[in-house]
Amino acid sequence: MNRRTWLATAAALAACSGVQAAPDAQRLLAASDAVRNPGRPFAVNVALTEFQDGKRVDSSTMVTYSRTLAQDGQFASLVRFTAPARDAGKLMLKNGQDLWFYDPSTKASVRLSPQQRLLGQASNGDVVTVNLARDYKAVLKAEEDVQDGDRKPRRARLLELSAAVPDATYARIEFWVDAGNDQPIKGRFFADSGRLLKTVYYRRYARELGVDRPTELVIIDGLNAASVTLMRLTQYTEKNLPESWFQREFLPRFQPE
């Protein structure tokens, strides 16, 4: 039996015995992206609440408008702050590698870092919509049981994500997705130094724009577990959002709905 015939026979035997190739890690990550993010232009209300030792210390609300861009399929996001009063009307724009903050009272726009904290443990990069599969290279590390945000065991696939673009918010992520339906369960987010920055649980799944999506994220500080920020996502709405909205030059002309 020559080598080619042997390989063909081995492949056929493997198929007959039920042996299957390991799931493709990048496909799993893209499937989890589709759970988190609608595939068409949309708006969503975002509420951040910071807790220290179980006590509420600060809060902020905003509306995020997001759509994918034709050139690379990544999301662009325009964030309009609605509360507290001192921040109402301020804007944040993410387009490609650029992140801008605009204050209508001064007419000034300044560049921001996605890693910069916005409130509590939530960074600027956490409130803009992101396709992780576009920014990270995924490797399947294990299939295991993990405790979800409601302290229930779930069978999950652990993905190791490494930044593939310079503007990725985090250097490395450990990301658990449900082995049965690709729903995100938990993420551990790391800095360039290897330090754990935060742990995030994705929970309170609800039907939004045709898909069960996480409507609450529990963000726990990597060094102090008593420092917790809740991110709540409500009122997903399909929107007609022109690409002109997502240009820095448009910010002074933006008018809320």
pLDDT in tens, 12-49: 443 444 445 567 999 999 999 999 999 899 999 999 99
* pLDDT reported for residue 217: 98
pLDDT digits (tens, 9 = 90+) for 133-189: 999 999 999 999 999 999 999 999 999 999 998 888 899 999 999 999 999 999 999
pLDDT band, residue 96 (cuts 50/70/90): confident
pLDDT band, residue 112 (cuts 50/70/90): very high
pLDDT at 228 over 90: yes
* pLDDT reported for residue 92: 97
Tell me the three-class secondary structure of the chain, residue by residue. Answer: CCHHHHHHHHHHHHHHCCCCCCCCHHHHHHHHHHHHCCCCCEEEEEEEEEEECCEEEEEEEEEEEEEECCCCCCEEEEEEEEECHHHCCCEEEEECCEEEEEECCCCEEEECCCCCEEECCEEHHHHCCCCHHHHEEEEEEEEEEEECCCCCEEEEEEEEEEECCCCCCCCEEEEEEECCCCCEEEEEEECCCCCEEEEEEEEEEEEECCEEEEEEEEEEECCCCCEEEEEEEEEEEECCCCHHHHCHHHHHHCCCC
pLDDT at 97 over 60: yes
* pLDDT reported for residue 22: 64
* pLDDT reported for residue 8: 46
Q: What is the pTM of this model?
A: 0.88
Please give the CATH topology (third level) of the domain spanning 25-250: outer membrane lipoprotein receptor (LolB), chain A (2.50.20)
* pLDDT reported for residue 54: 95
Kindly list the domain boundaries of the chain, sorted by start residue: 25-250
* pLDDT reported for residue 1: 47
Lowest mean pLDDT among 7-11, 24-28, 173-177, 224-228: 7-11
Torsion, CA 75, CA 50, CA 88, CA 131, rounded to 10: 0
* pLDDT reported for residue 66: 96
